[in-house]
């Protein structure tokens, strides 16, 4: 665990990020386990991995602990989250991180490798509208080697059961309120704490200028009509954009893991 001269504990920030994300997704660790099971099943135990929209490196952290022979490239645009990732993995030669905008035309040029055995992403692509996400899936079909895989764990729904969905939403809302009362940090409060850390204040300011200031309370994951949410859309689009197979591999009451094969 790396600690800076100013006293910043990068491992603690990584842990804090994980706890904040679990406030939204209590099944998050189970999702990661299933994703890594699929990595082993499809490409083996020594994969070259692209951690897409990596944030603080949560996937990379679990990947390298499970597979000593794995190597990971994390790519993200957020300066603050990448600062935590680079600090946390400063002494880890199997992990590298690059800055790139996944909606830009040349983001792949920032990667150290042209192709990867597997691309993994979690709770990130729901930020993209339909057109850029469709385009990204086509680009990922070129990044994943033949026989390799892409796994996306994210908020996905089955719109055929509105009463069940409403009940689940109410249940999770009540659970989150109880957790907040017990001291859990939500999205906006986590970012407020981050901006107060002297080692993160400058990258946080750059993040706020580039991507918006998340310290104002809001439901940052609220669905929008131009953002795809269904499992069927993701499976159909992945196949249309160059993957030979695609299906749901796991689901909870709110999330799913999509797996696609080249």
* pLDDT score for 232: 94
pTM of the model: 0.94
pLDDT digits (tens, 9 = 90+) for 94-127: 999 999 999 999 999 999 999 999 999 999 999 9
Neighbours of 101 (CB within 10 A): 13
Write the CB contacts of 75 (distance below 8 Å, at least 6 apart in sequence). Answer: 50, 51, 52, 53, 54, 97, 98, 99, 100, 102, 107, 110, 111
Query: Given pLDDT bands bounded at 50, 70 and 90, which one contains residue 159?
Result: confident
Cβ atoms of 226 and 238 within 8 Å: the answer is: no
pLDDT digits (tens, 9 = 90+) for 232-249: 999 999 999 999 999 999
Domain spans in the chain, listed from the N-terminal domain onward = 27-161+219-261
Question: So what's the architecture of 27-161+219-261 in CATH?
Answer: 3-Layer(aba) Sandwich (3.40)
pLDDT digits (tens, 9 = 90+) for 22-36: 999 999 999 999 999
> 210 vs 9, 142, 206, 254, CA distance in Å?
25, 28, 6, 29
Q: Is the pLDDT of residue 173 over 50?
A: yes
């Amino acid at each position: 665990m790396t600690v800076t001269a100013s006293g910043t504990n990068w491992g603690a920030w990584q842990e804090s990020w994980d706890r904040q994300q679990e406030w939204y997704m209590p099944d998050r660790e189970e999702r990661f386990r299933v994703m890594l099971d699929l990595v082993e099943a499809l490409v083996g135990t020594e994969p070259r991995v692209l951690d897409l929209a990596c944030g603080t490196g949560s996937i990379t952290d679990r990947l390298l602990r499970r597979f000593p022979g794995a190597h990971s490239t994390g790519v993200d645009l957020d300066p603050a989250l990448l600062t935590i990732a680079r600090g946390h993995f400063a002494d880890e030669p199997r992990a590298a991180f690059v800055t790139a905008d996944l909606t830009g035309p040349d983001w792949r040029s920032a990667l150290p490798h042209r192709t990867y055995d597997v691309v993994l992403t979690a709770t990130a692509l729901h930020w993209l509208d339909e057109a850029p996400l469709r385009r990204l899936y086509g680009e990922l079909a070129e990044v994943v080697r033949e026989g390799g895989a892409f796994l996306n764990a994210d908020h996905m729904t089955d719109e055929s059961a509105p009463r069940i969905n409403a009940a689940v939403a109410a249940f999770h809302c009540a659970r989150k309120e109880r957790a907040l009362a017990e001291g859990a940090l939500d999205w906006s409060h986590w970012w407020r704490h981050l901006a107060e850390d002297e080692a993160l204040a400058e990258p946080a300011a750059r993040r706020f200028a580039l991507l918006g200031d998340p310290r104002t309370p809001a439901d940052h994951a609220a669905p929008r009509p131009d953002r795809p949410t269904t499992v069927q859309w993701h499976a159909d689009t992945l196949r249309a954009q160059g993957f030979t197979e695609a299906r749901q591999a796991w689901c909870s009451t709110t999330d799913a893991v999509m797996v696609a094969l080249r």
